[in-house]
Chains A and B, each alone.
Chain A
């Protein structure tokens, strides 16, 4: 079955770095753009970043631009989020999500979500 499994979360001090992973299975990962979405404790959903199926088109939320980097390894069916210079406000559950259609990075909602991995930024 189609599945996304995030990992790599944990407790990290402000200013430090962390890399999240999202392992995909049950579908042709290399044909899909992929997203990261986060949710701070008790708050709503915030879109973070997207990469096209081939990694050539990437967009970020203003709140993470210049600090976070999204990437993928299609040979490993894995999506990554490198998070640098972490701040307390980056504390959240981070979800990876798949678009509802293939190839295009635009005009697709997100139909498959992982269970999330928790990042806590605290001294």
Chain B
């Protein structure tokens, strides 16, 4: 089974900051990686697929990169609505797996 590890677990930042979240896979997953945003009490929201493709309607300040085992999610200029928990997920093989999450907090 593929293990996904995100870092950091918590990130404190301010509006306007550029932030980067890292996700590492225990083995190569090519580019079969997605990113989701989740706010308390809500379902996850789909942000990025195939490591770097932005879902329709997602603001362009979000971007993803990477392949193989190392991936990043970058938010170029944080907005108030971006403070949430972010998860990566591999869909290279079953069982699918998620990272443990990165909570993005207001500094």
A residues contacting B by CB (< 8 A) are: 35, 44-47, 50, 59-62, 95, 100, 106-116
Contact across chains for B43 and A116 when beta carbons are under 8 A apart: yes
Q: When each residue 51-72 of chain B gets 1 if its CB lies under 8 Å from chain A and 0 otherwise, what string results? A: 0000100000000000000000
Residue from A61, A95, A112 whose CB has the most chain B CB atoms within 10 Å = A61
Contact across chains for A47 and B95 when beta carbons are under 8 A apart: yes
B residues contacting A by CB (< 8 A) are: 1, 32, 34, 36, 38, 42-46, 49-50, 55, 87, 89, 91-92, 94-101
* Interchain CA distance A3-B45 in the complex, whole Å: 13
**Shortest Cβ distance from residue B29 to the other chain A in the assembled complex, whole angstroms:** 11
Contact across chains for A109 and B95 when beta carbons are under 8 A apart: no
User: Contacts of B97 on A, CB cut-off 8 Å?
Assistant: 47
**Shortest Cβ distance from residue A7 to the other chain B in the assembled complex, whole angstroms:** 15
Contact across chains for A44 and B95 when beta carbons are under 8 A apart: no
